[in-house]
Every structure is written in structure tokens, then in C-alpha cells.
Structure 1
Amino acid sequence: MEKVDYVVVAAIDLGTAYSSWACSYRHEYKRNPRNPERIICRTWKGQRISLKAPTAILVQDDGKTLDKFGYEAEDKYAEMAEADADELHTWYYFRQFKMVLHDQKIKRDMTLESENGRTLPALRVFALTIEYLKKDLLDGIGIKMMTVLDESQIRWVLTVPAIWDESAKQFMREAAAEAGIPSNQLTLALEPEVASLYCNTIPLASANEGEACVLHSGAKYVLIDAGGGTVDIIAHEVMCDGSLNEIYRSNGGPWGGTEVDKAYFNFLTDLIGKSVFDNFKKKHMEDYIYLCREFEQKKRTIEPDHVSKVTTLLPGSLKELFKNENHQELATSIMSNGRWSQDVEFVSDKMRMEAHIMKELFANVLKFISDHLQLIFSGDSLKDVNIIMMVGGFSESKMLQEMVRNTFPEKMVIVPPQAGLAVLKGAVLFGHNPAVIGHRVCRFSYGVKTSLHFVNGKHREDKRKTVGNKDFCVDIFDIHIHKGQSVKLNAKQVPMVYKPQKPEQKIVSFKFYSSSECSPIYVTDEGCRELGKITVDVIRESTMENAVEVSFMFGGTEIQVEARDKKTGKATYTKVDFIE
């Protein structure tokens, strides 16, 4: 009889621009695994009803108490900014902070600067956000069930970009632990991977406005997960048993929808001047937030064939600040400025700009995505792939969809229903059945730093080190797995055997490295990066004959390690510590 270890799968999608949670009951999933409509999604109230809320938190002066989240955090902070500037600086307001974990070495003591200039430990900011979403989810389940759910019966899933390195993933796990989610109940899910699972689960007849597309066994496709901060790209093949094998390693970059926001605010800054715009954000936060929300709606609805002028509301406070600083009306200034006089006009409280200006805000980020897609499709690995799936909030943009279709006119481009919820709902499905992901492709070569007996003519002379009466070659990159290698989920790799250099050693420590090259020789080679450290305390007798077998499991979302004392057979299981 199957052991039941959870009742609910609960997923938290902490995004760059927007976040939310979703959950489903195990018995309902087992009744019909291909019906994601049974997944419960949180709804949020802002200017409109939304299935995601802005990633924004307002923390009280103690730096430990989260007061508001999402739309409520934005609104309260804006109200305080308008009413009392002194009170404003005793709080902490953070928004769109997730990208701080992208493409950098993570440290436990790193800090985040709030929008109003105060700092808190980054781990606490993430933990407070996850804790809020966790509590909000539990409250939501309690209301639906009319009872209190035992938290030990919940399997938690937390989404992370596939292009993040191991230190960022570990940071998210530690933030979740600080938020009260037990590590043994938590699974990290790669965002494009679970979005792919969602696309393989929804009724395909409803995909792409009725266009027929059956992802049968053997079908291959590229999935583009375009969110607020990043674009994650992955390629999968559907196997006979319904599982998904990765056929091209996850890749991408910081080309999400917030890049369009930055382009818009750069345009406004160029239009009215940096000083005016900075003062506007400082003195009229409520109007600034309204301006952000207003642009978000325009960004979502603009289409490539739009030719008429785009009209946006422009707060009176912004025009008043411009007039006070420049001693003339904004409309008058624009008319006398040859650069914008033909493209921008002001009518009452509205700004009207030519459609090409709005479209040009997308130009840079679309080019980055287009160039990258053409690069990966130019290789042999994807030459027989004719389907492109597009998910994520930014994928709902007609501008992005049109670019992909124009770049690859010979391929079928599918935008499934609720593309913006693909990651969130896919994470719930993944929590019910993690084994559905069969194989992954390694993005890097991985190994440990070690030493070998020095061989004249083979090893570099500058790597020679004498210990006692023996010469060793140091800084050897001992490869455990090569870049591009396909790895079965959680499968243990062939063990490597290591011996101590000194008789008195009772522990063996390894520094863990990655390399962008397939076969690096030394850890100091170009493209190599130290990721973390492993310390194994398994040696009980001090002797040079002691040996430790080290095996890595690379197929999971996180790298795991098994170290076995060759003499006693005792095994120690650990994870690499990727955070300084």
C-alpha cells in the first residue's frame, strides 16, 4: 500500500516583478493529473483583479516585521510618502529585488538597499517575503477546508530560474528555512522545466487558439520562459512514458519584461530631465506608482501593427515639477525641442506619443532574445526541433510573440492558455510528480580541486609542490561530469577515490569548481569558477592508506554528494556549501 506523506502540494513563485502562490490536493491530482484547472490560485486586488501581485514588501522599523505585501505595500508606502516624509524613512520598502541573486557569487551577509535608502540582510528580505506567501497560502487553504491543515502534510515547491548558479539556489533554500519551511518538505523547481511540464499537461486542443499540436512520444520543442527579470530557455523531448528529457541545456539571460520598463523610464527622464524625474519619485511616490501601473497596462496591450498614437495619463505633479524647475510648461518645452516635437504631445492630463516610440522601448530586449535564439538554433542539437513554446508573463506580449514568429517563420510557435501562470501551475504539478523530469543536460563541467603526483613533461612546472619528499601537481581540476553531458535525475555518478596528503589528516576537504569548458585541466584555467567547499569527516584512523570515494548526484535541482570511507564502508551524505 502506497505511503501517504502529504495532503497538499503548495507552490510559491517569487518572481522579479510579480509573485503568487498556488496549491492542489493530492487526491484531486491522482483523480485526474491532466486537469490543472483543479489547482487553486491566489487572486489579488489592485487596480484590477490579478492572479499575481507585485513583488513588493513594506517592513516596519524593527527590520523584522513585514507589514504589507504586493499592491497593499505599494499603496501604503505611497500614502506615507505623500503624508509624512519623516515617517517614510523609518520603514523599509523593497521591490523587484530578486535579480540581486542573478549572476554573482552569493554571500550570507550580503545586504539589500531599500527604495528609501535603508539596508537589511538580503536573506531576511527574501525570508520575510516567502514567510508572508506561506502564511497567506495556509490562511487560504484554511478558509477553503474550514479546518486547520497540519503543516507536516504539505509538500512545498519554490521556483528558481534555471540559469541561476548553485549559490543562488542554496540561498533560496536557506531563505525558505528561515521562513519556517522545513528543508525535508521543500523542493526547488526550475522555472522553465516546470513550465514545460504544464505545457505537456494542459489539454492541447486549446493551445494556440485552436491550432493543432500534439506532443506525442518523441516530440521535441524549445520552451521560452520570459518573465519579469529573466528569459529562461530549455529544450525537451517527450518520452514514451510521458517523462521529459532535456535535450539542450538550460540557458538565457536578464532579458525580462522589466527591461522594457527601464527603457520607458529612460525615455521619460530624457523627456523631462533627470532632476525632475528623481524629484517626482521622491516627492510624489503615489503618482509614480500609478505611472508604473499605467505603463504596465500599455506594455501588455501594445501590438506590432498598432499605428495610432499611444495615450497615457501623466500626473499633474510631474508637469508641475517640470514647470517649477524649468520655468515653462512641459508642452511648450517639448514643442520647442526638435527631437520630440513631432512625436510627443500633451493634451490636458494625457501624453500622446507616436506608436513607434512605444514599440522602440522593446527593441533592445527583443534583439537580445532574438540573437540568442538564433545562436542556439544554429547548432546541430536543435536542427530537428520545429516547435517553440512561449510561457511567462512577458510571453503574453504580442511584441515578443511577433518577434519569435518572424525570426522563425518555419516553426510552430505556441502560446498556451494562461501562459503567465505556467511556472506557478507547473510547480504544483512537479510537486506531485518530480520523477516526470527524466534527464537534464549539464550547463557546466563540474569537479573538485585535487593534487596528483607530479609527472615531468605532463604537468606545468609552476604547479609543482613538494610535500615531504614527494612532488605533487596542485590545482588539478578533477572532472566528475562534463559540460553537455546528459544526466539521469538524481543518479549517482561514478565515484572518484581520494587519499590524504598527510598521515595526520582525519578529514578530507574539497573545493568544488565549475567550468564553461568541456575538459578543463587546472582550476585556474579560464572559465573555471570556485563554487563552494565539501568537508568529509569519515576517516577514523590516521594513515596515508585511508581513501574516500566521492560520488556526486547532478540530475536533481540541487547537487548532492556521497562520500564513503573505503575502509569502513561508512557513507556520509552532504551538499556542497556554495555560499560564503
Structure 2
Amino acid sequence: MANSPISSLEPRVVVGLDFGTTYSGFAFAHVTDPEKIYAHFDYPKATGEKHYCKTVTACYYKKRADGVGGWKFKSWGYPARAEYEKDILTVRRHRSSDPNEDPSQPTIGQFFVRFKLHLASPSSAPKLPDWLKVDVLITDYLREMGGLILRTLQDHYGAGLTKEAIQWCITVPSIWDLSAKAVMKNCMVNAGLVGGIDGSPHPLVMVLEPEAASFHCHKVMSQEFLEVGDKLLVADIGGGTSDIVVQEVISVGSNYRVKEVTTSSGGLCGGTYVDARFMEFMHRTIGPCFRECLDRHPNVQVALMKSWETAKSSFGDPATREETIDLNLPTRLVALWEAYDQTLGNPERESYDELEITYKQMQSIFDPVVKENLRLISRQLDQVGTVKMLVVVGGFAASPYLMENIKRKFSGVVPHILSPPNPGSAVCQGAVALALNPDTIESRVCKRTYGFSCTYKFERGVDPPEYMKVVDGVEKCRRRFQIFVRKGDKVRVDSCISRIQRPVTRGQKSIRFQLFSSDEIEPRYALGHSVKKEGEIVIDISRDMQKDKGREVKLSLFFGRSSLEIKAEAVNFMMEGPQQHLELPVEVDYCGASSPVHLETFKTF
């Protein structure tokens, strides 16, 4: 992978970008005034929406009308939803006045939401058409968001500010693997925000969402609760994912620092899965005509989800406890439902305009998702015993019902259960704060075992015969897993683990170093269902052949603040070209991605 260009200038502004499943937002701070971190609230066409620190994660495309063919990106965020709804109304009016087919008549494009789920769980994400790939969709969204961010920064700091002055920090869920993070990084580059001709020359920083939220809570909430040795659990429960991390305080005050106590965990149990259960409830309640209505009138779902969002966000409020919720239904759904009942001879309802949802029915919609979040929190608490503080952030943290259940279950074991003001902005503001205070995280717990494929002495009766290779008359076992760090190990940020490697065969002119990871603590071989290939580098060792098999290469694995890096350097001979290295966007939690397993070309002693 090519290295990111390095600027001779230091960044002037740090931007934290929280690209979310349902909503996305950003925060920023000037490096000369790091305590003032601003969350952005003024998004285009947010009129009529709740005052919020994010805009909807949505894109709208329409077919080209210029004869070129294909589809064209039209709008993003709230404007995308507004334009989609406007086009539907325009087409409806046109057809009512002129029912004849007219090539020049208005058309409806395609509206996309929740596409971030393709990076974590493609099976639960909305299906995309063949002409649109998820990386293109994300790139288009990030490009437009980036344009808004640049204009906002120029309004604050002057029109002369360019992308060269920006340090981008993008937040990622703890459950994402390397492939998801690589897509995100590539999209930032393709959107023109990082690297290339016009992007920022400063390397992209990826921040784990619950870590960002944890540091934000430290910055904005009372510090009197926590002392050295105290543990805190942060639950970042957003639209798509839930991310849980437990940290221990190792210093307080202006030099606040923490270390990760357990492996961060998470699941697909954010607020959007409550939405999915609501849609299932509507289908059961109304019948097959509900799906038919959504297929025939796409705007019905948009209008319905607006009404549902209001009901969802207030459910559990003590002021309305046990009350039923009256949900206003879109006109076309009302008409189809009433006609459907008449056709089947079903008893006529008192009202089709409103749907009464009882408190128990609302519970049935919420409870499976809420209980999964409680289970994730419980699993972390089981590993650490007690924590002094439990902090809940993310978009779904604004749900009174979720917070009520968390407090009811854990108040007996956790002294302080809190949610900061504006929990939806905690992640992007925390990302900025962490970038400005990079020494805050001292160490993390490795989520996987990392090492390299190598050649060891063959052990008869233990190693499979097909792995045996005779080298200079000696039986060797190929594809052995040389462990550098084990799953569950505490790894200090910026730590380095090194091993000396040598060629396997006489006259060997190059060495291929392949990094693998595994879910197992003690994997024996660099292949199998639990093993994933993370990356590789190939070095030319042909320049100095004098020591032959005695040539030594120092292979190092660096666990940086925002990446995992491999370096290989000659120890006792001259190597062709500069020191070789590969930086992997493993970022923060050291996750891996699937890739086929290949050969090994070095041994270790």
C-alpha cells in the first residue's frame, strides 16, 4: 500500500467525523484552542427536523437526462429525503393531470439509507442495485459532507483555510474488521478528503467509537467520580451498532490516562433494529397490503418512519408511562388498508387514520434489542467484576426506555450510571479530543492473535505430512504460525515486537513476510477457518549474498495509535533499496479481514 503524503506543515484544525448508520455528524477544534470543541448543528434543509447534531445518512440518485445514460448523484442528508419526497409528489400530480406515458414527464430517483450496514453486516443491510456499489455510495456521501465541513471551517477561521490545514479523524465501530476499515479509508481518499492532489496531506486517524465517547465524557462530565484504579464502562449505542469498552483510570487531572481492561465488544443492536421490528409489527398488524403499499408508494415508508421516530424517541418517558401511542398513518396506506379489509370482509376499524399501539406492544418492539444491549454490558461486567461508572452515549442513548432498563438492571452493581448532554455528539467530539491528546490511551487488549507464516522443524506424529518440506536434507514444517502477540494480551500503544528471521534455502533472493491473525490464542498453523491474512511485504535480499542462509532480517510489528505496521530491515548484510514497511489500517482495536492463505519463505530461531 502506498504511503500517505506527509505535509511539512502541521494541521491547524482537527475534525472528528462520525459516519453513522442513520445519522452522521462532525465536530472540530483549532489546535491553538483545543478545549473548545464545536459540534455542528446547522445542516442543510433541517427545518422541521428535531434540533440535532447530525444529518440523516442518506443519498438520492436520479437517471441521467442528458442522453448519456446511467444514474447521477443528486443530493445527500436531509436534502436527499426532501428532494425524493418532492419528486414523488411532482410525479403524482403530473400523472393525475396527464395519465398518458410521456418520456419528458418527471421521474422518481432512488433513495438510499442505512448503507453503512454493508460494512458490518451485509445480510441485514438494504439491498443495493447492480449499478451502485457501497463504496461509491459512501464516497459520494463523504465528499458532500466534506464540502460542508470545509465551508463551515472557512466561516469560522477564514476563507483561506484549505484541506491542507485539516487533520481528519473518522470514528469506527469496535466490531468492524480490517476490510470494513479499509473501505472507509479508501472512501475518504476517493472523496478527496485525504491524500491525492486536493486532499489533506496528514494521514487519516481512525478512532474506536467507544474510546472517543469515553474521553468526551471525561472532558464534559464531573471528574470527581473517578480516581486512579477506578474502572468505567462506556456503551456507545448508536443507530446500527452497539460498542462496549471497559477502561481503568491510571492518572487523573490534566494528565488523564486510561488503559483498556477487556477486549472491546459490540453487536448489531442499535436503534435501527428497533425500526426493523416496528416494520415487522406493522406488517403483522395491517397484513400483506402493507408491503404492497410500500412497494407501490415509496414515500409512504419515509412518512411513516418520520411519525415512528417521534414515537420511538419519547417511549419510556416517565410523563407518559403506560400510555398508548397514536401513530398517524400516511393517506395512501390508510386507503389501501381500508380497501383490503373490505375486500376480505374483515370487521371495519373505528379509525384507519391512526394506529393505536399499546405500551405492551411497544415493549415487544423494543425489548429484544434492549435486552441484547443489556447482555453485552453484562458480559463485560462479568469479566471485570465491578465498575464505578457506566456511561451510555450514541443516538439510541436518547431513548428513555433504553436508559430506564439499563438503570434498573445495573444500578445495584454500578454506583454511577450516566448519559452526557447531547449523547449523539459524544463520539465525534471525543474523536477530536483524542486526536489532540494522543497519549490518553496507554494500552489496549488485543482482539486477535497476530503473527507470521514461517517454517519450523517438522514434528512427526504432530504436523500433517503434506506440510513437510525437505530443505538441505532437513525436514521442515511449512505454514507454521509464529506468534508475535496473543489474543487477550495487553499491548501498549506504540509498542514494538521484533524477531530475527533468516532465509530458508541457499541462494534465496527474496523473502515474503505474510502477517496473519487468528481467533485462537495458540494457533499452530497459518491457515484454517480461524486464520485471516492481514497483509504482506516482499523484500529483495539479492544484493548481498555472502552470508547466504546466515543473512538476518529484523521483522518488527508496531502497534501504533492508529495503525498496525510491519517493518523489515537488514541486520548483517546490505539490502536492495530502502527499509521495507507496510502500514495496515487496523486502527485502534487490531481487527482483521479475510484473505486467502499462501506460502511462507522464512524461518525463525
1:204-283 to structure 2, matched below 5 A, reads 204=222, 214-240=225-251, 241-274=255-288, 276-283=289-296
Could you tell me which residue of structure 1 aligns to residue 214 of structure 2? 196
Per the alignment, in what secondary structure is the counterpart of residue 540 of structure 1?
coil
Could you tell me which residue of structure 1 aligns to residue 87 of structure 2? 80
* TM-score scaled by length of structure 2: 0.83
CA distance in 2: counterparts of 1:42 and 1:469, whole angstroms: 72
Paired residue total: 543
Give the CA deviation at 1:55. 0.6
Could you tell me which residue of structure 2 aligns to residue 424 of structure 1? 428
Question: Identity rate of aligned residues, in percent?
Answer: 25
Could you tell me which residue of structure 2 aligns to residue 496 of structure 1? 499
Could you tell me which residue of structure 2 aligns to residue 360 of structure 1? 364
Could you tell me which residue of structure 1 aligns to residue 601 of structure 2? none
423-432 or 539-548, which deviates more = 539-548
Could you tell me which residue of structure 2 aligns to residue 340 of structure 1? none
Counterpart among 326, 337, 342 of residue 322 in structure 1: 337
Counterpart among 138, 144, 151 of residue 150 in structure 2: 138
RMSD over aligned Cα atoms: 2.8
Give the CA deviation at 1:103. 5.6
CA distance in 2: counterparts of 1:399 and 1:217, whole angstroms: 33
Could you tell me which residue of structure 1 aligns to residue 204 of structure 2? 186
Counterpart among 159, 176, 179 of residue 188 in structure 2: 176
Alignment of 1:571 onto 2:584: no
Once the two structures are superposed, residues 530-549 of structure 1 have per-residue CA deviations (whole angstroms, 9 ceiling, x without a partner) of 13331232423354333332
Could you tell me which residue of structure 2 aligns to residue 342 of structure 1? none
* TM-score scaled by length of structure 1: 0.86
Counterpart among 50, 53, 71 of residue 52 in structure 2: 50
215-224 or 253-262, which deviates more = 215-224
Q: 1:501 to 1:247 in 2, by over 3 A?
A: same
Structure 1 residue ranges without an equivalent (≥5)? 106-110, 206-212, 337-344
Q: 1:90 to 1:400 in 2, by over 3 A?
A: closer
Give the CA deviation at 1:525. 5.0
Could you tell me which residue of structure 1 aligns to residue 304 of structure 2? 291
Could you tell me which residue of structure 2 aligns to residue 17 of structure 1? 22
1:494-573 to structure 2, matched below 5 A, reads 495-503=498-506, 505-524=508-527, 528-541=530-543, 543-566=548-571, 567-568=573-574, 571-573=579-581
**Does the Cα contact within 8 Å between 1:17 and 1:96 map onto a contact in 2?**
yes
**Does the Cα contact within 8 Å between 2:91 and 2:107 map onto a contact in 1?**
no
Look up the equivalent residue of 1:568 and give its one-letter code: M
Q: 1:112 to 1:128 in 2, by over 3 A?
A: farther
Q: 1:226 to 1:467 in 2, by over 3 A?
A: same
Give the CA deviation at 1:232. 0.2
Once the two structures are superposed, residues 431-473 of structure 1 have per-residue CA deviations (whole angstroms, 9 ceiling, x without a partner) of 2222222211111111122221213355344432345644221
Could you tell me which residue of structure 1 aligns to residue 96 of structure 2? none
Per the alignment, in what secondary structure is the counterpart of residue 327 of structure 1?
helix
Q: 1:428 to 1:78 in 2, by over 3 A?
A: same
CA distance in 2: counterparts of 1:203 and 1:77, whole angstroms: 40
Q: 1:347 to 1:504 in 2, by over 3 A?
A: farther
Give the CA deviation at 1:173. 0.9
Alignment of 1:157 onto 2:169: yes
Q: 1:64 to 1:19 in 2, by over 3 A?
A: farther
Once the two structures are superposed, residues 203-235 of structure 1 have per-residue CA deviations (whole angstroms, 9 ceiling, x without a partner) of 418xxxxxxx52233321111000000000001
Look up the equivalent residue of 1:496 and give its one-letter code: R
Look up the equivalent residue of 1:278 and give its one-letter code: R
Alignment of 1:300 onto 2:339: no
**Does the Cα contact within 8 Å between 2:259 and 2:441 map onto a contact in 1?**
yes
96-105 or 391-400, which deviates more = 96-105
Q: 1:353 to 1:466 in 2, by over 3 A?
A: same
Look up the equivalent residue of 1:367 and give its one-letter code: K
296-305 or 77-86, which deviates more = 77-86
**Does the Cα contact within 8 Å between 1:163 and 1:252 map onto a contact in 2?**
yes
Could you tell me which residue of structure 1 aligns to residue 75 of structure 2? 68
Per the alignment, in what secondary structure is the counterpart of residue 378 of structure 1?
helix
**Does the Cα contact within 8 Å between 2:235 and 2:242 map onto a contact in 1?**
yes
1:430-441 to structure 2, matched below 5 A, reads 430-441=434-445
Q: 1:346 to 1:264 in 2, by over 3 A?
A: farther
**Does the Cα contact within 8 Å between 2:269 and 2:373 map onto a contact in 1?**
yes
CA distance in 2: counterparts of 1:418 and 1:81, whole angstroms: 34
Look up the equivalent residue of 1:482 and give its one-letter code: R
Q: 1:77 to 1:550 in 2, by over 3 A?
A: same
**Does the Cα contact within 8 Å between 1:562 and 1:571 map onto a contact in 2?**
yes
**Does the Cα contact within 8 Å between 1:507 and 1:535 map onto a contact in 2?**
no
Structure 2 residue ranges without an equivalent (≥5)? 1-7, 65-69, 93-102, 196-201, 586-592, 596-605
Give the CA deviation at 1:90. 7.9
Q: 1:168 to 1:326 in 2, by over 3 A?
A: same
Give the CA deviation at 1:52. 1.0
Give the CA deviation at 1:363. 1.2
Look up the equivalent residue of 1:536 and give its one-letter code: V
Once the two structures are superposed, residues 136-171 of structure 1 have per-residue CA deviations (whole angstroms, 9 ceiling, x without a partner) of 111112233342312211111111112211221122
**Does the Cα contact within 8 Å between 1:195 and 1:423 map onto a contact in 2?**
yes
Per the alignment, in what secondary structure is the counterpart of residue 425 of structure 2?
helix
